[in-house]
Structure 1
């Protein structure tokens, strides 16, 4: 008996640049009937699915948690109306993408789905700044973390025990992380790289140290990623 619902694809759009989405992701976007997209999806990315109904379900840090329930409801509603439904997420759906809530909703409704991975911003930022996250003899472990929490939840102040630390949704949270790191004995001159709007035309890079990060950073209104550790120390010949 044929399904009464369409199929839902959770697709990672990558860090921002339209040509950094995977070939599979772009192919499915071009076939989509409806696309529910995040706030960080660029207009250039949406041109890849110009044939589809496009629904903004953008949600930025600090907004009420009920917004996710609304998104879940819209996904299920679209699956009842359309054959090919895309939930388009910045970066990779399975990393800080709140995919768990959406997968639970799809599974509870017995709706078929597929996950298409995307390039997470940490990897794109390392490539853009030409700073490897790992270096032989210097850094052999990497932690991807965020201090952001849902409204009403206690902030997670733990510092991961890894050679290279990559903080998503950096901004003010990265400043507080740096302050905690200094109080825990991390060196003042620990190298730090801040990247905003990674892979986009308005990308901004800052190279500083932990002591300066602890004083705060100036950013615009784009997504901020902060990379910390000896692996971020500039090579002698880097310009």
Structure 2
């Protein structure tokens, strides 16, 4: 008897931005494997009857390793359970959803992908920072700030990234923020380029820290910035207005 696995993106942390399909699938779940990124507003709505498995990843501190998570998904599905792998944002944007999809398919288990609204898009927008703007940015580059350390050489071309005139959005980059800012300036990006760090998605306790490539690492350290956070680099950051920003635009 085989069950089914759903790879569900929960969006940027506000229950109002969880998709209708995501809500429906979660309500059907018999097993939910989750981490901290969906946020308390969504996690508290998980079905009471469901087995809930915390797979939280806090920087280098993992409750479960990736292979353990995938093994649990396969095990529960093979026992005939409806399994939801609940992830923040969208599963296929630096969420390791692709790896989980491969594993479940290889095990011969039915799987459905339920896309989510990516935090890379929604979080800056909620703070009044448009990633594109006719005056300031005609392109957006989204990248990870935490490449796989086992790679023989980095896949990111920082020299090329420094020359881009659009917006750069970095996920999972808090720990390496100083290195990232330094290498961008080293390769020619102006040190005065505006930077915004938005912590904790669209949760009630979210906050924004701003600066420039020259000082953002020091400012972030002084402010005690911690992941999860979205980092936005580019002139569009100047459109942020603390007095006009609606800090809680969705019910949590």
What TM-score, normalized by structure 1, do the two folds share?
Answer: 0.89
**Do 1:63 and 1:151's aligned partners in 2 also have CA atoms closer than 8 Å?**
no
**Which blocks of at least 5 consecutive residues in structure 2 are unaligned?**
245-252
Residue 203 of structure 1 corresponds to 206
Alpha-carbon shift at residue 50 of structure 1 (Å): 2.2
Deviation per CA, 1:188-237: give whole Å up to 9, x if none: 22111110011011101112211112445133444021100112223799
CA distance in 1, matches of 2:26, 2:38: 13
Residue 112 of structure 1 corresponds to 110
1:24 equivalent to 2:21? Answer: yes
**Do 1:172 and 1:216's aligned partners in 2 also have CA atoms closer than 8 Å?**
no
Residue 187 of structure 1 corresponds to 190
1:94-133 mapped onto 2 (5 Å cutoff): 94-133=92-131
Count of aligned pairs? 236
Residue 59 of structure 2 corresponds to 61
Give the RMSD, CA atoms, in angstroms: 2.4
CA distance in 2, matches of 1:58, 1:67: 9
CA distance in 2, matches of 1:237, 1:201: 16
1:172 equivalent to 2:175? Answer: yes
Identify which of 8, 12, 32 aligns with 1:11: 8
SS of 1:195's partner is: strand
Alpha-carbon shift at residue 177 of structure 1 (Å): 1.0
CA distance in 1, matches of 2:188, 2:120: 25
**Which blocks of at least 5 consecutive residues in structure 1 are unaligned?**
none
CA distance in 1, matches of 2:45, 2:79: 21
SS of 1:111's partner is: coil
1:212 equivalent to 2:210? Answer: no
Residue 157 of structure 2 corresponds to 158
1:45 equivalent to 2:42? Answer: yes
Of 91-100 and 219-228, the range deviating more from structure 2:
219-228
1:75-94 mapped onto 2 (5 Å cutoff): 75-94=73-92
Deviation per CA, 1:40-66: give whole Å up to 9, x if none: 2323212322232111122233357x8
SS of 1:72's partner is: helix
Of 167-176 and 146-155, the range deviating more from structure 2:
146-155
Q: Are the structure 2 counterparts of residues 39 and 155 from structure 1 closer, same or farther at C-alpha, using a change threshold of 3 Å? A: farther
CA distance in 1, matches of 2:242, 2:173: 28
